[in-house]
Structure 1
Amino acid sequence: MAASPSPSKIHKWPALLLAVVTLALLIYVVWLVDTSPATDDAYASADTVNVVPEVSGRIVELAVKDNELVRQGQLLFRIDPRPFEQELSRAKASLVALDKQIELTQRTVTAQKFGADSVHAIVERARVASAQTTATLRRTEPLLAPGYVSAEDVDRARAAQRAAQADLIAAQLQAQQATSAVTGVDALVAQRDVALADIALMQLRLEMATVRAPFDGRVVSLKTNVGQFASALKPIFTLIDTRHWYVIANFRETELKHIRAGLPATVHLMSDTSKSFAGTVDSVGYGVLPDDGGLVLEGLPRVQRTINWVRVAQRFPVKIRIDKPDADLFRVGASAVVRLERDTATAAHGRSSG
């Protein structure tokens, strides 16, 4: 008669089978986490700009409302253009007056040049007369001793030479005065360049009074209306760039060795988990603010640790670019769940290096 298995051995088989299944599940989970890291500590993000006027003035037209979707080039708001139009008109009038002054001055300069040319001719004539009287005196003086000329003739020659020399000096002084009197228009032309620059500046300010959307986006944080005085460089509202959406996923530092730019990702938004969005890792963060003291670098993202009585791995932000975002679902700050798909080459490299 064959012996039947003991009851103790029969009870050991389910426990052994359960242990094997548990170990297999544990190995599978470890493998899944290693090859496809995931996190629910993620949120949607997009680039934003503060829409600010570049000139100060009262808002006379507000063409958008809060949370409205706008297109590139669409009118956002307009500041009262009348002060800038008046400044532009004044600058243009100044240019017209300056042009007339330049024209009048140019005529005066032309007349002065004619006068200077005539004076230079007088100088040349006086120089010739002076040279002639000097030569006559030199020929006459040697003839006095032999008696060929009288002393009176010599005196007359000397007087003529002195008079011609004086006339030459007077003509030269007059020529200098005439030359210096020829005032150019260079200074006025330089003023004209300044006037043209003022006109260009006034035109630019007038254009800045009308603010348009720099890109497709959504208006948020609008808390003003027509009649509000807008100060230059003070934000009126924020514009979200809806052309590109990202998800910032915070992964543990122990998982970063397998994460690199270019990895494919699958994203689910908490607002509608039935839809998934494909994405690509854009970059991996290299700094966060520590919670437990030490050096604090301002400007770095802060990721809170939820457990403070044990040492937990720090989390670093991984920026994921969404390929085809849904404009109605994506909102800045919306909660998300992210799973990364690590390629085979990277996984093999990670195992070999380990």
Structure 2
Amino acid sequence: MDLLLILTYTAFCVAIFKIFKIPLTKWTVPTAVLGGIALIGTLLVLMNYNHPYTKFAREYFVSIPINPAVRGLVVEVNVKPNVPVKKGDILFKIDPTPFAAVVKEKQAALEDAKQAVPQLEAAWESSIARSTQAEANRDRTKSAYERYDEGRRKGGKNSPFSEIELDNKRQLYLAAEASYKSALADEIGYRLAFESNIDGVNTDVAVMQAELDVAVFNLEQTEVKAPVDGMVTQMALRAGVMAVPIPLRPAMTFIPDEDRYFAGAFWQNSLLRLKAGDDAEIILDSMPGVVHKGKVIKVLPAMAEGEIQFGGSLRSSNDLFTRGRALVLIELDDDTLRTSLPAGVAGQAAIYTEHFTHVSIIRKVLLRMQGWLNYLFAEAH
């Protein structure tokens, strides 16, 4: 940009000297040079501060790494590269055989658990009957023991009940008491097992249902589907590959069909001027001579050069030497670029603020001149 402005002024001075036949003297040449320095310097200061330009602009897009949720052998690849697909379309399939077998196993275990519930109820009712019988037997032996004990105490030496008979009755009573406590404990155990519920469902049934749900989920994940509308590009996945759920090694890369933004890196000295809503123009290396209009969406509130994260090492003072640039998001008015150009194209951008608007005309002219130069070569980034 600066070179274009200098060359334009030089050409203008040469034309003035030729047209008006101004002699080249020690007064005219220094006047033209000093005038150019003053004029160009003023224009550069006003343009760079109020209408900043950057040669570092690029379209950014988000990609989604497709990782299967389960591990298995790929048996079918349904998606074709660079062909748009809809949300929910199948991308590829994993062999479902082992997962279907697990589902059947869990279904059988769930049915067993459901059948066990009435069996638990029957066992509880049976234990109630046994405890009732044991209680009656205990009461009967207790009554007999108390009758013998009372007759033994009242009769004394003339009692018809001997010490051995009294001891037998006491042992029968104690045995009946122990049987009753055992039956009562069994009754409590069966009752707790039968009444063990979560949300009104037997806990064993709930556990089997949860395991079945996990198995069904894993079976469903053997069909890997598109998360949103978009496409897959540069696909190398083929049938026979072992797909594994490792985030560092996705099976394919999915590009969602969504709005994309251009990001420009601007010097920090213009941050007080830049704001959302400012007009912007972008020229692309891939479309020489064409200027695309847009708006500033946002000036990002953070710069990576100042980032600090938790870690076990100290930061070097050399990090302070990297000044960095402010990132500005620009949305183009023409959305057809998403279909006409590949995502990630690069170019240059200029922003026109509300200050010194008459100077912005020069910036627009210089930007278009730079766009015309792209017919010959693209500026290296």
Q: Identity percentage over the alignment?
A: 17
User: SS of 2:347's equivalent?
Assistant: strand
Following TM superposition, the consecutive aligned residue runs of length 4 or more in structure 1 with deviations greater than 6 angstroms are none
Unaligned runs of 5+ in 1: 1-6, 142-150, 298-310, 346-354
Give the Cα separation in 2 of the matches to 1:282 and 1:331: 25
Q: Is the CA contact 1:262–1:282 (under 8 Å) kept in the aligned structure 2? A: no
Give the Cα separation in 2 of the matches to 1:57 and 1:295: 49
Paired AA for residue 244 in structure 1: D
Query: 14-23 or 313-322: which moved more?
Result: 14-23
Paired AA for residue 292 in structure 2: S
- For residues 159-308 of structure 1, what are the structure 2 equivalents within 5 Å? 161-182=166-187, 183-184=189-190, 186=193, 189-233=202-246, 234-259=249-274, 263-273=278-288, 274-279=290-295, 280-283=297-300, 285-288=302-305
Unaligned runs of 5+ in 2: 1-21, 197-201, 307-314, 357-381
RMSD: 3.6
Q: TM-score, normalised by structure 2?
A: 0.69
CA gap of 1:11–1:105, structure 2 versus 1, over 3 A, is: closer
- For residues 88-99 of structure 1, what are the structure 2 equivalents within 5 Å? 88-99=103-114
Q: Is the CA contact 1:44–1:330 (under 8 Å) kept in the aligned structure 2? A: no
Q: Is the CA contact 1:69–1:217 (under 8 Å) kept in the aligned structure 2? A: yes
Q: Is the CA contact 1:260–1:284 (under 8 Å) kept in the aligned structure 2? A: no
Query: Rg larger in 1 or in 2?
Result: 1
- For residues 51-90 of structure 1, what are the structure 2 equivalents within 5 Å? 51-90=66-105
Give the Cα separation in 2 of the matches to 1:257 and 1:67: 42
What per-residue deviation string (whole Å, max 9, x for no partner) do you get for residues 249-283 of structure 1?
22234444544566543333322252514132341
What per-residue deviation string (whole Å, max 9, x for no partner) do you get for residues 174-232 of structure 1?
21332344452739954433322210110111121122222233322311223322122
Q: Is the CA contact 2:274–2:299 (under 8 Å) kept in the aligned structure 1? A: no
Q: 1:245 Cα shift?
A: 1.0
Give the Cα separation in 2 of the matches to 1:75 and 1:25: 60
Q: 1:28 Cα shift?
A: 2.6
Show the counterpart of 1:307.
none
CA gap of 1:282–1:17, structure 2 versus 1, over 3 A, is: closer
Q: Is the CA contact 1:245–1:321 (under 8 Å) kept in the aligned structure 2? A: no
Paired AA for residue 229 in structure 1: M
Q: 1:18 Cα shift?
A: 7.3
CA gap of 1:238–1:296, structure 2 versus 1, over 3 A, is: farther
Show the counterpart of 1:328.
339
Q: 1:56 Cα shift?
A: 1.5
User: SS of 1:69's equivalent?
Assistant: coil
Q: How many residues align?
A: 312
What per-residue deviation string (whole Å, max 9, x for no partner) do you get for residues 270-304 of structure 1?
22252514132341552349xxx95688xxxxxxx
